[in-house]
Amino acid sequence: MRILAAMSGGVDSAVAAARAVEAGHDVVGVHLALSRAGGTLRTGSRGCCTVEDAMDARRAADLIGIPFYVWDFSERFRDDVIEDFVSEYRAGRTPNPCMRCNEKIKFAALLERAIELGFDAVCTGHYATLAETGEGLELHRASDAAKDQSYVLGVLTAEQLAHTYFPLGSTPSKAIVRAEAEARGLTVAHKPDSHDICFIPDGDTRGWLAEKVGTARGDVVDRAGAVVGRHEGAHAFTVGQRRGLSLGVPAPDGKPRFVLEVRPVTNTVVVGPKEALATAEISGERHSWAGRPQAPGDFECHVQIRAHADPVPARATLAGGRLTVVPETPFDGVAPGQTAVLYDGTRVIGQFTIDRTVSAVPVDA
């Protein structure tokens, strides 16, 4: 196949590109420039997609012996990921920018251009596997459960999966990938994995949002509506948060209180006991299927609500375009805007963006 290898500058994408060449494919490397702040360098393992990363990707491509290009996707990234991130917080939701980046940039904009240029597939260093079955192509978890990235790939559609290539999915551990990189002479063999939000490399999401959204004082209330404190901007709070609440009225039982809800229309933050974070039901209308479409009705599945959360057995219902999930045991601290990925064993069924949650604890409990 003609393969376009997305090279982030990290060890995973470099080894993935090398394996694609070794498998006999015609490979071209590409690094996506997602920011116009060209002087930005990563700090340790914070951030990605920087000048340093582009240089690391180029050195890896040279060593592997493949052509290499840098494509400017900064406008698309700004519009589809950064602006989406800001608008979601303005609306009181907690978005996952990595999901949006995979959905809108790496497997939409990049894949579209790749196909236009005659490539058969985009290769990445994600840890996930593809399986061809009698019912079509399926997306499955990686062999290494600790590195599995099928959750952040849950937004991919059947058409996109048909043009993807994940050479690392069956690798038993990340240590093997690093050892292979070292054996190949790749200088990124021991480069730290990036973490945090790539466009907020200092990790100060609250400060970054304050600059973008501004500050506006509002009330912090308990579940009964009584004012227990004040805040400088509802966008700075997420469901499940405990620190930084600055409450002036202690809870009757003296126990800590947590953010239960963010109401952007009234600029109000609702707090309550930890038990009230238990979520008995989640639902959403924005959904997609990773392979064959799911028929309307009820079905059993496992649901994962965060990249590193344990999957929970659940019963899902698809009706009237809305997907509703009731877990066997309540989820903990679910926020609107999060992504729920549904599994059948190791197979990814699909995903949806949560827009409604139901607490397992009544308000008057």
Between the alpha carbon of residue 62 and those of residues 20, 51, 156, the distances in Å are 15, 17, 30
Q: How many C-alpha atoms does 127 have within 13 Å on its Cβ side?
A: 17
Between the alpha carbon of residue 23 and those of residues 2, 20, 69, 182, 302, the distances in Å are 12, 5, 21, 19, 34
Q: Which is catalytic among the residues 48, 98, 123, 198?
A: 198
Q: Which is catalytic among the residues 48, 49, 101, 123?
A: 101
Q: How far apart are CA 18 and CA 7, in angstroms?
A: 11
For this structure, is 101 an active site residue? yes
For this structure, is 123 an active site residue? no
Tokens of 84: 């989406």
Q: How many C-alpha atoms does 205 have within 13 Å on its Cβ side?
A: 17
- Burial zone of 365 (CB within 10 Å; 0-12 exposed, 13-18 middle, 19+ buried): exposed
Beta carbons of 57 and 9 less than 8 angstroms apart: yes
Beta carbons of 254 and 339 less than 8 angstroms apart: no
Residues tagged active-site: 101, 198
